Amino acid sequence: MNLVEYEADSTWRSAVSRRTTGQKLRDLFAAYLRLDVIEEIMFPASNALAYLALVVPAFMYYFQSIFLHTRSQYMSILIGVAVAAGLQEALTGLTTRLQFAQERGVLETYLIEPISWRLIPLGMNVWKSFVGIVITLITIAIGCALGGRIDFSGLPLFFVLLLLGVLASNGLGLFAASFLILFKRGSPVMAVYGLLGALVGGSLFSITVLPPAIRWASYLAPQAYVISGARSLLTPHAGATAMPLWLPFVVLGLASVLSIITGLWVFERALHRAQVMGILGT
């Protein structure tokens, strides 16, 4: 390395070291968002089909409600399905990204940036979290276009509730990502969570109809809180909800903070352990 290259390298390292944590997070988010947007642009047909698929559940449950003479329950069911789909995107986004990096052998290149490894998942799942929110909102909008009615005054609080649900799902996704780093398989964790959410999350029915012996499991799934709160806010006259409106906000707020803090620590430890074992890039 000649003198000019050494001085340039020293200047770059000095500038990097002076960045605050906020600036590092901003640059990290911008970099991963750019990668995700480029990927979206590179495969326009597949992405267009993915968004077009949102029409299917909206129409399916619409015609089902006509056939079963349950039009008054249409939006209540669709809201549950829309929320579950949106949270699933936020939940699986990080493991999908990591598995893609492992398969291409570029995971270790993500770790050479001069930032804490704990910050990496915060950037890697921003786009998928945003997509999850968009999927939920688009599905509900399609239902409204088909004649479903919601209470629009509840939309601001619903958006806050959905955001809390996405954050809690990100926290849970960190544990699945840690499992993936160490064992190269995230599917067992995701499968258990997916079954739990599908059965007791309340996407197709209120959890009040579940037997008390298994109803307790509903309170372990973020979907149950978001869906119950969403139905209370957007379809207050569609029937009884499973829990008071304040409870989802409190539980999801606490769950978001605790799961993200704990999940980031576990994720960093998993990376260090994989590096020591020599399996990080394999």
Walking along the chain (282 residues) 10 residues at a time, the average pLDDT comes out as 48 56 75 79 74 83 86 88 88 80 70 68 83 91 90 92 92 85 68 70 80 81 89 76 84 92 88 75 56
How many whole angstroms separate alpha carbon 230 and alpha carbon 16? Answer: 43
pLDDT value at position 11? Answer: 53
How many whole angstroms separate alpha carbon 40 and alpha carbon 48? Answer: 9
Instruction: Quickly tell me which residue has 């059965």 as its tokens.
Output: 199
Q: Helices 74-104 & 187-200, crossing angle to 10 degrees?
A: 180
If you ran DSSP here, which 8-state letter would residue 235 be given? -
- Determine contact, residues 83/162, Cβ cutoff 8 Å: yes
Query: How many C-beta neighbours within 10 Å does residue 64 have?
Result: 13
Torsion of CA 194, 195, 196, 201, to 10 degrees: 80
How many whole angstroms separate alpha carbon 73 and alpha carbon 78? Answer: 9
pLDDT value at position 114? Answer: 63
3-state secondary structure of 275: helix
The closest of 276, 39, 86 to 181, measured between CA atoms, is 276
pLDDT value at position 21? Answer: 67
The pTM assigned to this predicted structure is: 0.83
Could you tell me the two tokens for 170?
């990100």
The CA angle 13-29-248, to the nearest 5 degrees, is 140
Instruction: Quickly tell me which residue has 């599905």 as its tokens.
Output: 139
If you ran DSSP here, which 8-state letter would residue 205 be given? S
